[in-house]
C-alpha cells in the first residue's frame, strides 16, 4: 500500500496544485474488494497501535479537513474501527467559545494533543484559522487582536504570520515525538451536491443537514483557494499533507487506512525491553505464583 502514501503525499508546496488531484481517483482498486482490504489494514494497524501504546515514545495526531459532506465522520469511524479505544481520543472542533477567543488561536488545539503512546484524531483543526477565517475574515475580529480593528487591516503579512505559526507549532510537535498526519478529503462540488440531496431525501440523515452548508457552498471557489494556499504553505517533509480523493468513500477509507499504517511502520516501534534485574524479578514472581 506504500504507493498510496507516496501518491497522495505533499512534502513541498511550491509546485502543489489541487487541479492535479482527481477527487474520483480510485488508483485501480475495486469497490467489491473494500471489506477484505480494510479488514487486513485495520488488523495490522491495531497490532502496531499496541506497540505504540507500550513504547510511549511517540504520539500520533491525525487531522481531518474537508468541505461539508466531505466524509470526515465516516472516514474516522471506519479507519479507527478495530483500534483499542483506550489508546485513542477524538476531538471535533466547532466555533470557538468565549474562553477560547481569549487565548491565541492555537491554544485550544494544544490542549487537545494526544499523550505519548496515544492516537489523537482532530475533526477539523487549527487549520480552520487559515480556512474559514480566510473566506470570512470578519470572524477574526472576534479574536480582538492587536492592531486589527477591521478587515482591511488583514494584509498579506497577517496571513504569512499565521502560516509561520502553524509551521513552527507542528515542527515543535514533531521534534518532541508527535507524528502528524494531515488529511484533506478532496471531494468534488458535484459529489457534495449529491450528498446534500441524500441528506434531505433520507429522514435518517436529515439531522446532518444544515442550511448554512448550502450557504457556504456558494464560497466553494474561495475555499478551494484557501485550502490550496494552506497546503502550499504548511506541507513539509516532516509534516506532509495527504490529499485524498473523496468522491468514492470506500476508496477514501482504503487510502486513509493505508497511509496511517505506513506512517506507524516508519517509526520502527518495539515493545520495551526490561533490564536484567527486572527480568530476574519477574522470574522470582513467577516462581511464587506457581507455588500457590
* CA 247/CA 24 separation, integer angstroms: 5
Per residue in 50-72, pLDDT tens?
999 999 999 999 999 999 999 99
Per-chain mean pLDDT for the chain: 93
* CA 149/CA 154 separation, integer angstroms: 9
* CA 57/CA 116 separation, integer angstroms: 6
Centroid of chain to Cα 136 = 23
pLDDT for 1:
61
* Domain boundaries defined on the chain: 2-291
pLDDT for 284:
86
pLDDT at 2 over 80: no
Tell whether pTM > 0.85: yes
Q: What is the DSSP letter of 237?
A: S
pLDDT at 156 over 90: no
pLDDT for 43:
92
pLDDT at 7 over 90: yes
pLDDT for 288:
86
- The pLDDT confidence band at residue 98, using thresholds 50, 70 and 90, is very high
CATH of region 2-291: 3.40.50.300
* CA 211/CA 120 separation, integer angstroms: 30
User: In Å, how far are 28, 67, 75, 118, 229 from 70, measured between CA atoms?
Assistant: 21, 5, 9, 26, 19
* CA 79/CA 251 separation, integer angstroms: 11
pLDDT at 148 over 90: no
pLDDT for 111:
96
Per residue in 258-276, pLDDT tens?
999 999 999 999 888 878 8
Averaged over 17-22, what is the pLDDT?
Answer: 96
Amino acid at each position: 500500500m506504500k504507493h498510496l502514501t507516496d501518491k497522495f503525499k505533499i512534502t513541498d508546496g511550491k509546485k502543489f496544485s489541487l487541479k492535479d488531484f482527481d477527487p474520483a481517483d480510485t488508483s485501480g482498486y475495486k469497490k467489491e474488494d473494500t471489506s477484505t482490504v480494510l479488514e487486513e489494514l485495520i488488523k495490522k494497524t491495531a497490532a502496531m497501535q499496541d506497540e505504540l501504546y507500550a513504547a510511549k515514545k511517540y504520539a500520533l495526531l491525525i487531522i481531518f479537513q474537508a468541505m461539508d459532506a466531505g466524509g470526515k465522520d465516516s472516514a474516522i469511524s471506519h479507519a479507527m474501527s478495530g483500534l483499542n479505544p483506550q489508546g485513542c481520543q477524538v476531538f471535533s472542533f466547532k466555533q470557538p467559545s468565549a474562553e477560547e477567543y481569549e487565548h491565541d488561536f492555537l491554544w485550544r488545539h494544544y490542549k487537545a494533543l494526544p499523550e505519548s503512546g496515544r492516537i489523537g484524531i482532530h475533526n477539523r483543526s487549527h487549520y480552520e484559522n487559515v480556512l474559514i477565517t480566510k473566506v470570512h475574515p470578519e470572524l477574526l475580529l472576534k479574536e480582538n487582536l492587536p492592531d486589527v480593528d477591521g478587515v482591511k487591516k488583514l494584509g498579506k503579512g497577517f496571513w504569512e504570520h499565521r502560516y509561520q505559526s502553524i509551521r513552527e507549532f507542528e515542527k515543535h510537535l514533531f521534534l518532541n515525538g508527535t507524528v502528524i498526519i494531515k488529511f484533506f478529503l478532496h471531494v468534488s462540488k458535484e459529489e457534495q451536491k449529491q450528498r446534500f440531496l441524500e441528506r434531505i431525501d433520507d429522514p435518517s440523515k436529515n439531522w446532518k443537514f444544515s442550511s448554512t452548508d448550502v450557504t457556504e457552498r456558494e464560497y466553494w471557489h474561495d475555499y478551494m483557494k484557501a485550502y490550496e494556499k494552506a497546503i502550499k504553505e504548511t506541507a513539509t517533509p516532516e509534516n506532509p499533507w495527504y490529499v485524498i480523493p473523496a468522491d468514492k468513500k470506500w476508496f477514501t477509507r482504503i487510502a486513509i487506512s493505508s497511509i496511517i499504517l505506513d506512517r506507524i511502520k516508519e517509526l520502527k516501534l518495539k515493545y520495551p525491553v526490561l533490564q536484567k534485574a527486572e527480568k530476574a524479578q519477574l522470574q522470582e514472581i513467577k516462581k511464587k505464583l506457581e507455588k500457590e
